[in-house]
Amino acid sequence: MAEMTATQLSAPAHDDHGHMSAEEHNENMKLGMWLYLASEIVIFSMMIVGYVLFRINEPDVVELAHSKLGVGLVTANTFVLLASSFFMVMGLRAMQQGNRQGMLRWIGATALGGAVFLAGQYIEYSELAHLGITLGYDIESQWQTFGMRFYAPTFFHGAHVFVGVLWALEVMRRGAKGRYDQNPIGIEMFGLYWHFVDVVWIMLFTLIYLV
Amino acid sequence: MATIAVPLGGGQSRQEIEAVRRPALSEYLRWSVDHKIIGVQYGVTSLLFFIIGGALAMGIRLELWTPELDFMVSGAAYNSLFTMHGTIMIFLFIIPMWAAYGNFVVPLQLGAKDMAFPWLNAFAFWLIPPAGVVMLLGYFVSPAEAGWTSYPPLSTLFSGDGQTLWALGAHLLGLSSILGSINFIVTILNMRPPEMTIWRMPLLCWAVLATSIIAVMATPFLAGALTLLLLDRMTGTTFFDASGGGDVLLWQNIFWFYSHPAVYIMVLPGMGVLSEVLSIHSRKPVFGYRMVGLSSMAIAIVGFTVWAHHMFTSLQPELRIPFMITTMIIAVPTGIKMFSWLGTIWGGKIRFTSAMLFALGFMSMFVIGGITGVMLAALPFDIHVHDTYFVVSHFHFVLFGGSVFAIYAALYHWFPKITGRMMDETLGRIHFVFTYLGFLITFFPMHIVGMLGMPRRVAVYDPAFTDFNRLISLAAFVLGFSTFIVLYNIARSYFHGPIAGANPWRALTLEWATTSPPPPTNFHDDPIPYEDPYGYGTKAATAYIEAIDMAFDRREAAPSGAD
Amino acid sequence: MANNYGNRPSISPTTIVVAAVYLLVSVVGINWFTTFIPGIFPPQASAESKSVDELFFILMIVGGIVFFLIQGMLLISVIAFRARGDDTSDGPTYHGNMVLEIVWTVIPSLVVVFLAVISFNVWSQNSAPKANVNMVNGASIPINVIGARYAWTHTYETGRLTPNGDAIIINSGANLHTYIGQNVDLSLQTQDVIHSYWVPAMRVKQDLLPGDPRQGGRPTELRFTPVRIEGVVYPAEYPIVCAELCGDGHGRMRGAVIVYEDEAQYLEQFFEPAIHAILNPPADPVLRGEVEIQNYICNSCHVLDSLGWTGLTGPPLNGIADRAGERVPGQSAEEYIANSIWNSGAFRVPGYDQQMAAFGPDVVDAANVMTPEQLYSIVAYLCTQGEQSDCDMENSVTAIPDAIMTVFAMEVDITFGMSDDAAVEDGTPDTGAVEEAAESNAQNDSA
C-alpha cells in the first residue's frame, strides 16, 4: 500500500528546477527591503525622539538655534531631494517602458540631486561650526548639547544619502549593461530606499527647522 | 485513499541518491551561498566560541573558590572575565547557534531549495568571525570590564579601549543578526510550497519566524545605543554623561528595550526545537498546535513591553508597577507552551533518545527559570534580589537550562541529517546525566546565596558564602567537563557513526524527506509536505514515512513500479 | 504493527494511583520547602523585610505547586508512557483539547493577576513616604549617602552649629548608624559611576545615579525602619553591599548598618560623641589630620595600613613621607603632598593611570571640599607615614603652612592650637596619643 502511494502520488517536478521564478524573486526582494527599512525606521526614530526630548527640555537653546540657522539653504536642499525622488520615479517608469537611455538619464539626475544635497549639507555644517556648534560637549558653549542632538540625526541621514548616491551610480552601471531590461526590480529596490531617505528628511526638516 | 505524496518518488535514480556525498571540509572554510554549508559554518563557529566562553566561566568559578582575590590579578581582570563570558555566550554562541539550526533546517522544512537571499545569508555569517576577533582583541589593550550590559558611565568615562572594541564587535553582530533575520522572515513567509499553509508549518519555523520578527524590530535599538556609546567614547558627545546634559538611564532604557526581547531571541527557537523533538520522539502530534504557534507570537509581542523590569532599582518608583504587571503576564504564553508539551508527551510512546532526554531536561529546568521569573517580577521581592546571584541563577536556568539544553537536543536530533551519521546514543546519555546534574547543582544553590546577600559580579565576597561557592564551583567543573563528552561524540560520530539514512527518527517534516546529508539543491523534485507536520499515529502518516524509506533507503526492495 | 490509530490517550488505574501518591508527596514537599524559607533569608531587621518575606512565602507556595505539578507530570509521563522493549508503534493521534487549553490559559492568568495584586500591596506599603523620618532628639535630620569608587560615606546634617557658625555634619564613613524604630530616609548620590546601595537584612536596594553636579546631582531615596530581632545584642551590625558593578573594587565596596537598641543608646554611643569630637578637634595637627583624612574618600583608592585602607586604584600611601621629597624635583615633601591633594592632576605616579578626584576649597562635589586648615592637618598626618620622613618635622609647624603658601599662594590661618608642647616638636609624634585617638575613633565607629 505504502509502496503504491510512493509511486503513484509523487510530486511533479517544476520546470524551473532549482531556481526561483522572477516573480518569486521580486516578491522576496520587496518584502526583504521593507523589513530592512523597518529596522532603519527604528534607528531614526530613536535619534528623532532624542532630539524631540531635547527640544522639550531646552526650548531656549532651540529658539536660539532657530534664530541663527538660515532656513533658506536647507529649504532649497529639501526641494532638491524631493525633485530627485521624482526623477527616481521617472527613471523606473522609463525602464518599465523599455527606454534604457531615458532610465539612465533620470537615475543620473537622481544621483546628481543627492550629490547637490550633500554639498548643501556640507556648507551648512561649515556655517554651524563657524557659529561654535560642535558635536562634542563644550561646557562653555551657549549651545549646550544642541550640537550632538542636531548632528547625530542629520549626519546619519546624510550618510544614507551618500550610500544612495553610490547605489544610484551602481544602478546606472548595471542598467547600462542591460541588467534591468527584463526585470527592473533592482531599480525598484533602489527607489524604495531613496523614497525612504526622502521621507525621513521631510520629518527631520519639519522637526528641526520648522517647528 | 488519502492524498499521500512523497518527494523524489519519481525522477531520481539510485545512482543519483548514492552520489550524494558530504561536502568536502574545504567547502566549509570558504565563501559559500549554500544554506547547509552556512548553517554548519555558523554551528562550528558558535561551538568554538562556546568553548572559549565556557573556559572563561571556569575561570570565574576558580576565582570564586575563595572569598578573596587570588586567581585573578585584580578585580578589573575578574570583571573582564565575566564581561567576556556573558558577551560571548549571548552574542557569539546562543544567537548564532540558532542561526545555524535555522539555516540548515528551516529551508529544508519548507521544502525550499535555499534561503530567499543566499548571498546575504553568507554575508551575515561572515560578519561573525571578524566581530568575535574584534571583541577578543580587547585582551591585547584593556578588555571590556563593564559587564555585558555595559552601563555608562562605567563603560564610557571609566573604561579603556577594549570597551570601544567591544562595542564595535557587538555592532557587527547586531548587523549580522538583522540581516539574517530579514532572510528568515522572507524565506518563511514567501517560500513555502503551495500545500503548506501557515497553519501547516512546522513549529520550528513558527518559532524562527517569531524570533526573526523580534530581531528585526529590536536589534536596531542595540545598534542605536551602541552608536551613541561609541560617539560618547570617541567624539566627546555626552549622550550618557550627566555632567554634560546626558542621561545614564537613557542607555538602560534603550539597551533593555533590545536586550529583554533578546532573551526571547535566545529561547524561542529552543521552544520550537522542543515542539519538534517531543512530538517526534514520543510519536504523538503536538498538543494544541495553533496555541503553541500563536504563543510564540504572543511572547514576541509582550516581550517588547517588559524591558524596564531590569531597572527596578533605578527607575522612578511610580513607573515600576506597570512593568511588574506586563512581566507577570508573559508567564501565561510561556505556561501555554509548557502545558502543551506535557500534553504532547502524555499518552505517547516515549523513546529515550539523547535528543528526547535533553528536551525533557529542558522542560524540567526551564520551569524553574519560569517560576523564578515570576518571583523576580514581583517588585518587592525583586528589590531584594536584584543584581544578586538569584538573578544569575534565574537567567542560567532560562538560558542554559532552556536554550543550551535545546541546542543539545537539536544537535542529537539533526546531526544525522547534517552529517549523514548517527551520534553515539550511549555517550549522549552519559553526556545528559553529567550536564543535568552538573547544571542543577551549579545553579540551584545560587538562588540561596543570592537571597542571603551575595551580589553578582564580585570577585571578593563575604566569607560566610565560601562553602556554597565551593559546591557551586565543583559542580561547575563537572558541567564544564560534560562539554568534552559531546565534543568527543561529535568528532567520533562524524567519522565512525552508523549511517543514518534519510529518516532515522521516522519523522513527517520535510527535512527528513531527502538524503542525509541533502544534495546541494536539497530536493530533486519539489517535495509535497504531509498534510499535518506532526500527524503521527495514522495510517496515512505511516505510509508517508514508509514511502520516504522506500524512496531513499530501501529502494532496491521496492516493487518494479517504483520508477 | 499495533497502531491504535485515532484513540484518545487512556489513563490506567495505576497511573491514577501514582498520581495520587505524587500529589501527597508534593503537598508534603511544599510544606517541607517552606520550612527552609527563614534559613535562606538574612535576618528580618526591618519592617519592610517582614512583608517581603511573607510575599516570598506566597510566591514559594504558588511556585511550589507549579513546580511539583509539572515535574510530576513529566515524571509520570516518562514512567507510564515510555516505549517498552521493541515497541515501534506510534502514539494516539490526539491533536488537543480546547477546554484544557482554555483552562491552562485562564488559570495562570488569574494566578498572575493575584500575584500582581499582592505584590502591589506590599510595594505600596513599603515605598510609602513616612512621617517623622530620621528623627534624632525630636528633629528630623537629613542623612546623605555618597557612593564613590569604592567606598560608602554617610553624613548627618545635625542642624547644629559650631561656635564659628559652621554647620556640624557628622561623617560616619562606611557605616550607617540608626536605631530600632527610626524611620530611615536616605538621600543617595554617587560621585562617579552607578552604584547600588543594598542592605540585605533590610530587603532594600536603590541605585545611585550620576547627575549634573551643577544642578545638585540626581539624588535617589531609600527608606526603611529597623525593627527588633529577639535574641540579638544591640548595637547590631548588618552589611551594606554595592550591588551594581562599579569597577575594580566593586566587591570590596562594603559597609555596615549599625542598629542601636533605642534612641538613647544611639545618642549616647554615636551621636553625641561624634558631635563632641567635631566641636573639640585634637589640638595636634597630626591627630587632627588623622581624623580629617578619614572624612574623605581616600580609602576607596589608596592602601594605608595604619588606617586599614585597602583601596586599589591609587598608589599606596604606606611610607609616603619617605618618598614624597623625591617625586618631583624642586618640591619639598610637604609641597609635594599638599600639591598632590589639592592639585591632583599635576603629577601622576608612574604606573597609575587614573586621575584622582579634585579636592580643594571650591570644588563642585560638596564631599570633597577641603579648607586650607584641613589640608594642613592632613599633610601633617601624612608626614608621619614613614620611617625617616622627608618632611621637615623639626619645624613642621611653619614648614607645612609655608609649603601651602608656596604652592597655592594662600594664607593658612591656623585656628587650632599650635601649642608649644605638641608632640611634633621633637620630630616624632607622640605614638601614645595617636593610639589613644585611634582607639576612641574605633569606639565611635563600632560602639
Q: Is the pLDDT of residue B351 over 60?
A: yes
Q: Which amino acid is at A209?
A: Y
Name chain B contacts of C209, Cβ cutoff 8 Å.
Answer: 242, 248-249, 314
Q: For residues B302, B304, B309 and B314, what is the CA-based torsion angle, rounded to 10 degrees?
A: -160
Nearest CA to CA, how far is B238 from chain C (Å)?
A: 12
Q: How many CA atoms lie within 13 A of C234 on its CB side?
A: 22
Is C335 found in the same domain as C196?
no
For the segment C26-49, what is each residue's pLDDT rounded down to a tens digit? 888 888 878 888 888 999 999 999
- Say yes or no for a CB contact (<8 Å) between A32 and B547: no
For the segment C125-152, what is each residue's pLDDT rounded down to a tens digit? 988 888 899 999 999 999 999 998 888 9
Mean pLDDT for B61-69 is: 94
* Residues A112/A65, Cβ–Cβ less than 8 Å: no
Where do runs of H (alpha helix) occur along B88-202? 95-109, 118-126, 128-137, 161-190
Is C156 found in the same domain as C114?
no
Is C311 found in the same domain as C234?
no
For the segment B246-300, what is each residue's pLDDT rounded down to a tens digit? 889 999 999 999 999 999 999 999 999 999 999 999 999 999 999 999 999 999 9
Name chain B contacts of C92, Cβ cutoff 8 Å.
Answer: 284, 347-348, 537
Q: Number of helices and strands (H, E) in chain A? A: 7, 0
Helix (H, G, I), strand (E, B) or coil at C139: strand
For the segment B170-215, what is each residue's pLDDT rounded down to a tens digit? 999 999 999 999 999 999 999 998 889 999 999 999 999 999 999 9
Mean pLDDT for B487-499 is: 95
Phi/psi for C147 (5° steps) reads -105, 130
* Residues C333/C401, Cβ–Cβ less than 8 Å: no
Is C156 found in the same domain as C100?
no
Mention every residue, 6+ apart, whose C-beta is less than 8 A from residue B297: B206, B210
* Residues A153/A96, Cβ–Cβ less than 8 Å: no
Mean pLDDT for C295-307 is: 81
Instruction: Assign 3-state DSSP to chain A and report helix, strand, coil percentages, each to 5.
Output: 80, 0, 20
Asked if the structure places residue C107 within a domain, the reply is yes
Cell numbers for B1, please give them.
485513499
Q: Count interface pairs B-C at CB distance under 8 A.
A: 288
pLDDT band at C424 (very low <50, low <70, confident <90, very high): very low
Report pLDDT for B377.
95
Name the residue of chain C whose CA is nearest to B69's CA. C251
Nearest to B496 by CA among B553, B432, B424: B424
For the segment B397-432, what is each residue's pLDDT rounded down to a tens digit? 999 999 999 999 999 999 999 999 999 999 999 999
| Beta-ladder partners of B304 | none
Q: Is the pLDDT of residue C348 over 60?
A: yes
Asked if the structure places residue C6 within a domain, the reply is no
Chain B (383-402) residues lying within 8 Å, Cβ to Cβ, of chain A = none
Backbone Cα Rg of chain B: 24
Report pLDDT for B332.
94
Name which of C95, C193, C242 is nearest B285 (Cβ-Cβ): C95
* pTM assigned to the model: 0.88
Cell numbers for B513, please give them.
524527506
Q: Is the pLDDT of residue B116 over 80?
A: yes
Nearest to B456 by CA among B400, B371, B377, B395: B395
pLDDT band at C2 (very low <50, low <70, confident <90, very high): very low
Chains with 3+ CB–CB pairs under 8 A to B are A, C
- Say yes or no for a CB contact (<8 Å) between C9 and B324: no
Rounded CA gap, C225 and C180, in Å? 7
DSSP string, C175-223: EEEEETT-BEEEEEEESSS-EEEEEGGGTEEEEE----GGGT---EEEE
Tell me if chain A has a CB within 8 Å of the CB of B220.
yes
The answer to which of B98-112, B283-297, C223-237, C342-356 has the lowest mean pLDDT is: C342-356
Rounded CA gap, C53 and B380, in Å? 9
Name which of A4, A17, A136 is nearest B237 (Cβ-Cβ): A136
* Residues B92/B134, Cβ–Cβ less than 8 Å: no
pLDDT band at A173 (very low <50, low <70, confident <90, very high): very high
- Domain total for chain C? 3
Q: What angle do CA C381, C385, C391 make, to 5 degrees?
A: 75
| Ordered domains of chain A (ranges, CATH) | 60-210 (1.20.120.80)
Q: Please, what sign has the CA dihedral across residues B69, B71, B77, B78?
A: negative
Asked if the structure places residue C37 within a domain, the reply is yes
Mean pLDDT for C242-267 is: 93
For the segment A69-117, what is each residue's pLDDT rounded down to a tens digit? 778 888 999 999 999 999 999 999 999 898 899 999 999 999 999 999 9
Q: What angle do CA A174, A178, A180 make, to 5 degrees?
A: 75
Is C424 found in the same domain as C294?
yes
Return the CATH number at C115: 1.10.287
Report pLDDT for C128.
87
Is C148 found in the same domain as C121?
no
Report pLDDT for C411.
64
Report pLDDT for B12.
59
Which of C241, C276, C311 marks a domain boundary? C276
Nearest to B481 by CA among B422, B439, B440, B425: B439
Report pLDDT for C447.
34
Is C419 found in the same domain as C314?
yes
If one counts every other C-beta atom within 10 angstroms of the C-beta of residue B176, the result is 24
Mean pLDDT for C66-78 is: 90
User: What is the overall mean pLDDT for chain B?
Assistant: 91
DSSP string, A173-207: HHHHTTTTSS-THHHHHHHHHHHHHHHHHHHHHII
Name which of A2, A20, A35 is nearest B550 (Cβ-Cβ): A2
Distance of CA C384 to the CA centre of its chain: 31
Name which of B324, B367, B535 is nearest C67 (Cβ-Cβ): B367
Name chain A contacts of B527, Cβ cutoff 8 Å.
Answer: 11
Exposure b/e, B45-57, CB count within 10 A at least 16 = b: bbbebbbbbbebb
Q: Is the pLDDT of residue A68 over 50?
A: yes
A166 vs B318 pLDDT, higher one = A166
Backbone Cα Rg of chain A: 23
Which of C228, C261, C276 marks a domain boundary? C276
Is C316 found in the same domain as C257?
no
For the segment B14-44, what is each residue's pLDDT rounded down to a tens digit? 677 777 788 888 889 999 999 999 999 999 9
* Residues C9/B347, Cβ–Cβ less than 8 Å: yes
Rounded CA gap, B227 and B352, in Å? 48
For the segment B520-559, what is each residue's pLDDT rounded down to a tens digit? 888 877 788 888 899 998 989 999 998 888 888 765 444 4
Is C18 found in the same domain as C68?
yes
Tell me if chain A has a CB within 8 Å of the CB of B195.
no
pLDDT band at A57 (very low <50, low <70, confident <90, very high): confident
Asked if the structure places residue C7 within a domain, the reply is no
End-to-end CA distance of chain B: 21
Rounded CA gap, B274 and B411, in Å? 12
ipTM for the whole complex? 0.91
Which of C224, C258, C276 marks a domain boundary? C276
pLDDT band at C10 (very low <50, low <70, confident <90, very high): low
DSSP string, C366-412: GGGB--HHHHHHHHHHHHTSSSS-SS-GGGHHHHHHHHHHHHH----
Helix (H, G, I), strand (E, B) or coil at C82: strand
DSSP string, B283-310: TSPPTTHHHHHHHHHHHHHHGGG-GGGG
CA C226 vs CA C49, C146, C260: distances in Å: 9, 21, 9
C329 vs C12 pLDDT, higher one = C329
Asked if the structure places residue C4 within a domain, the reply is no
Is C113 found in the same domain as C238?
no
- Say yes or no for a CB contact (<8 Å) between C5 and B539: yes
Name which of A10, A144, A145 is nearest B6 (Cβ-Cβ): A10
Report pLDDT for B455.
96
CA B207 vs CA B203, B227, B414, C4: distances in Å: 6, 30, 17, 31
For the segment A4-55, what is each residue's pLDDT rounded down to a tens digit? 333 333 344 443 444 568 888 899 999 999 999 999 999 999 888 888 888 8
Chain B interface test: which of C78, C90, C100 (most B C-beta within 10 Å): C90
Name chain B contacts of C119, Cβ cutoff 8 Å.
Answer: 324, 377-381
Burial class (CB in 10 A: 0-12, 13-18, 19+), B465: buried
Report pLDDT for B554.
65
| Ordered domains of chain B (ranges, CATH) | 39-562 (1.20.210.10)
For the segment C166-194, what is each residue's pLDDT rounded down to a tens digit? 888 898 888 999 999 999 999 999 988 99
User: What is the overall mean pLDDT for chain C?
Assistant: 82
Phi/psi for B358 (5° steps) reads -70, -35
Is C428 found in the same domain as C395?
yes
Q: Which amino acid is at A1?
A: M
Is C58 found in the same domain as C105?
yes
Domain coverage including residue C339 = 281-446
Report pLDDT for A2.
38
Rounded CA gap, B325 and C116, in Å? 6
Q: Is the pLDDT of residue C427 over 50?
A: no
Mention every residue, 6+ apart, whose C-beta is less than 8 A from residue B541: B508, B530, B532, B535, C90, C93
Q: Is the pLDDT of residue A136 over 80?
A: no
Percent of chain C with pLDDT over 90: 36
Mean pLDDT for C234-262 is: 93
Burial class (CB in 10 A: 0-12, 13-18, 19+), C445: middle
Phi/psi for C367 (5° steps) reads -70, -15
Mean pLDDT for B304-332 is: 92
Q: Which amino acid is at B84?
A: M
Rounded CA gap, C349 and B184, in Å? 56
